[in-house]
Amino acid sequence: MKNLLFFTALFLFVGCGPKNNTKNDVYDIPAPPEENKVMEVTIHPVFHGSLALTHEDKTVLIDPYNGAERYTRFGAPDLLMITHTHGDHMDMETLKGLDLSKATLLAPQAVADALADLTFAGVQVLRNGETASEHGIKVEAVPAYNLPSAPKMFHPKGDFNGYVLTIGNETYYFSGDTQDVPEIRALKGIDYAFVCMNQPYTMTVEAAADMVAEMQPTVVYPYHYRNGDGTFSDLDQFELLVKESAPEVEVRKMDWYKEAK
C-alpha cells in the first residue's frame, strides 16, 4: 500500500508541477520530490534540521531556525515541536517572528522553561517515553543523547527529545541531535526517518548508516549534516553504506544548505 501511495504521489507531482517553488520565495529549497504528498501529509524540508508538515488544515513546525521568513508561507502553526535548547533548534529570534497564537508547544522541560516568556495556545512538556495527542496527531518523545564515551557530553541523556509522529497510518521520526543510541536503533515501523549526522555533535556518517540499517525505515532523509568546522557530511557515502546493508531502504538526499554554500 505504501508503495502504491508513493507512486500515486509521484504521478501527481509530475502531472501538476512543483509546489511552493516560485522565484519570489527565495527561502524555499527546491522541494520535489522531497516536498511530496503522502496520504494527506506534505513534507516541507526547510533548512538544517528544520521542516514543516502540513496535514489537511493543520501545520506542524519542527525546530524552526535561521529566520522567521522561511516559515511564514506555512501560516500560523498548530503544533510547534522543539527537540532541545541549542540555538540551531530552539532559535529564539525566529520564534519571536512567528505567529504562535494557536500553537501548542511540545518540548522537553528545559525548552519549556527557556520559552516561558513566549505566549502559546498551550504547552505540553514531554519526557523521553511520554506521548501526547494533538489535532489527531500522536507524538512520542524518544531519547536523544550522546553516549557516555563521547569526548564531550553535548546532549545529556534524559534532557532532550527526538520525536515520532503518527499521522493516520504513517509514522515520521525526527532525530534532533543524538548519537546512534540503543533506544533509537530499537524503533520499528518508521515510514519516514530524518536522521542527523554531523561532527563532533551527533553521529558520523558510518554510525548513522548502521543505525538506519537496523531501524529499517521505509524512507530516510539525511539532514542536519553541517559539521562544526563548516564542512558537510558525505551524503553519497551515507547512501552507499545504507544501500549495501539495507537495500530496501530508500535514501532521499537534498541540499538543506543551498544558501549557506
Q: How confident is the model at residue 84 (pLDDT cuts 50, 70, 90)?
A: very high
41: containing domain? 2-250
Is residue 130's pLDDT more than 70? yes
Q: What is the pLDDT of residues 60-79, one digit of tens each?
A: 999 999 999 999 999 999 99
Mean pLDDT (whole number) for 41-69? 95
Identify the pLDDT of residue 188: 95
CATH number at residue 207: 3.60.15.10
Mean pLDDT (whole number) for 195-220? 96
Identify the pLDDT of residue 9: 41
Is residue 104's pLDDT more than 80? yes
Q: Is residue 260 part of a domain?
A: no
Residue 6 Cα distances to 3, 9, 119, 166, 222, angstroms = 5, 5, 38, 17, 19
Is residue 159's pLDDT more than 50? yes
User: Is the preceding omega at residue 222 within 30 degrees of 0, hence cis?
Assistant: no
Is residue 41's pLDDT more than 80? yes
Is residue 210's pLDDT more than 80? yes
Q: 30 versus 128: which is more confidently predicted?
A: 128
Q: Is residue 169 part of a domain?
A: yes
Q: How confident is the model at residue 186 (pLDDT cuts 50, 70, 90)?
A: very high
Mean pLDDT (whole number) for 198-220? 96
Q: Is residue 125 part of a domain?
A: yes
User: Is the preceding omega at residue 33 within 30 degrees of 0, hence cis?
Assistant: yes
Q: Is residue 258 part of a domain?
A: no
Q: Is residue 257 part of a domain?
A: no
Q: Is residue 27 part of a domain?
A: yes
Residue 199 Cα distances to 1, 6, 136, 214, 226, angstroms = 37, 33, 36, 21, 8
- Residue 28 in 3-state DSSP? coil
In the chain, how many domains are there? 1
Q: Is residue 179 part of a domain?
A: yes
3-class secondary structure for 145-164?
A: CCCCCCCCCCCCCCCCEEEE
Identify the pLDDT of residue 149: 55
Identify the pLDDT of residue 147: 79
Is residue 95's pLDDT more than 80? yes
Identify the pLDDT of residue 248: 98
- Which pTM was predicted? 0.84
Q: How confident is the model at residue 198 (pLDDT cuts 50, 70, 90)?
A: very high
| Cβ pair 67, 98 in contact under 8 A | no
Q: 40 versus 78: which is more confidently predicted?
A: 78
Q: Is residue 164 part of a domain?
A: yes
Identify the pLDDT of residue 48: 96
Q: How far apart are CA 66 and CA 87, in angstroms?
A: 9
Identify the pLDDT of residue 81: 98
| 107's grid cell | 518540548
